[in-house]
Structure 1
Amino acid sequence: MFERFTPRAREAVVGAQQVARDLGHHEVRDDHLLLALLGTGGVGADVLHAAGADAARLREHLARPDEPGEDAEALRAIGIDLETVRRRAEEVFGPGALERPAGRGRRGLLGRLTGSHLPFARPAKKALEESLRAALDLRHDRIGTEHVLLGLLRVDGRAVRALAATGVALDAAGARAAVVEALRRSA
């Protein structure tokens, strides 16, 4: 599928690898793809910027540690505090003891382009699959940044939540209409 991506869309996918690395994450998430997309230019980035997306605010949001989820709350309910467990493990085994090892990564086209390949999280993979569907829905034979944006918005993942958390009100239907309008104007 990667061969169907335009150069800018490829740049966004490769850029997502670098965003994940820069933030110290061990996999490429859909919100990394969103941030990389903002920096590539093209219709997808234009639609995001027009909706008020800001790369600096988004990067700041992505750099924050995740809020404790349901698992942490369930453990807390039975008297286990994850922060205490983390702190104690680092006292005994050293800083970063609970971090996932970086590993060697897979080598493929992305690995050759970036030096090492971080695995893509399921929502990021799903967003890329949905970008193909978005291109087909619009009867386009190439996957551009606009299709990557539409793919991201079709997946209920971190990218959608990051947009909302940074004050960007953009849903799949609104983005599709903006993409169609931008493509019509540029034709």
Structure 2
Amino acid sequence: MFTRFTPEARRTTVRAGLLALDHGRATLDEDMFLLALAESWPVADFAVTPEAVGTEIGNREAATGRAGDRELLASIGVDLDEVRRRLPTRREDPLAWRLTRSRLRPLNVTLSGPAGDLLLTARARKVVEVALHTSGTGSKVTGEGLLKGLLADGSNASVAILRGLGVDIRGLAAGIGFLRESA
């Protein structure tokens, strides 16, 4: 699947996976795509910063009773920074990662690389599929395509986070050419 991604979109997807792993998750959710996009492709007109998105994600995790991985590991004496220092140096190399669809279960899409394997949740898979679809045949998926994938489902966590940050979702969608014209 990564053959249809620009280097920027591939880096963003890998970063989303690494963020999910750093948050102690076994799956890749769409909120990590939003955080990775905020880091790599800031939407300046809408004042979405990685810090603001990270804070919103942390607040949502706290509200659901999910502790961050750093806190959980520290409680048993594991230093997360030391673990990261010992990981392979290619951990963040986008070329060392693969995005594949299962042949036996076509709805299962997995991001695999040196830091581990992450199954994409249904909403994260939708982000990728919408990005692939909106890029068109023969075109590459871009960061903007991933953002379109996030905006495609108005009920996902990323849209709720953006709304919580005061972003005009309709204005954002119009700004990237993702609104259909009225009849």
Q: TM-score, normalised to structure 2's length?
A: 0.65
Name the SS of the counterpart of 2:116 in structure 1.
Answer: coil
| Structure 2 residue identity aligned to 1:143 | V
- Which one has a larger percent helix, Structure 1 or Structure 2? 1
| Structure 2 residue identity aligned to 1:170 | I
Quote how far apart the aligned CAs of 1:37 are. Answer: 1.2
1:179 to 166, 169, 176: 176
Query: Cα 1:166–1:140, aligned 2, differ >3 Å: closer, same or farther?
Result: farther
- What's the counterpart of residue 26 of structure 1? 26
Query: Cα 1:165–1:176, aligned 2, differ >3 Å: closer, same or farther?
Result: closer
- What's the counterpart of residue 47 of structure 2? 52
| Aligned sequence identity (%) | 26
1:157 aligns to 2:156 (yes or no): yes
Quote how far apart the aligned CAs of 1:23 are. Answer: 1.9
- Cα distance in 2 for partners of 1:108, 1:18 equals 11
Count of matched residue positions in the alignment of Structure 1 and Structure 2: 136
- Cα distance in 1 for partners of 2:156, 2:174 equals 21
Aligned pairs (5 A) from 1:100-139:
109=98, 110-112=111-113, 114-136=114-136
Name the SS of the counterpart of 1:143 in structure 2.
Answer: coil
Q: TM-score, normalised to structure 1's length?
A: 0.63
Query: Cα 1:145–1:61, aligned 2, differ >3 Å: closer, same or farther?
Result: same
Contact 1:27/1:120 (CA < 8 Å) preserved in 2?
yes
Q: Could you list the runs of 5+ residues in structure 1 that have no partner in the other structure?
A: 69-82, 84-94, 97-106, 181-187
Q: Which piece of structure 1 moves more, 117-126 or 16-25?
A: 16-25
The higher radius of gyration belongs to 1
Quote how far apart the aligned CAs of 1:166 are. Answer: 1.8
Name the SS of the counterpart of 2:48 in structure 1.
Answer: coil
Aligned pairs (5 A) from 1:2-81:
2-40=2-40, 45-46=41-42, 48-64=43-59, 65=61, 67=63
Contact 1:51/1:170 (CA < 8 Å) preserved in 2?
no
- Cα distance in 1 for partners of 2:172, 2:133 equals 15
1:147 aligns to 2:145 (yes or no): yes
Q: Could you list the runs of 5+ residues in structure 2 that have no partner in the other structure?
A: 66-74, 77-95, 99-110, 178-183
Root-mean-square deviation over aligned CA pairs = 2.6
Runs of 4+ in 1 over 4 A off after TM superposition: none
Query: Cα 1:55–1:140, aligned 2, differ >3 Å: closer, same or farther?
Result: farther
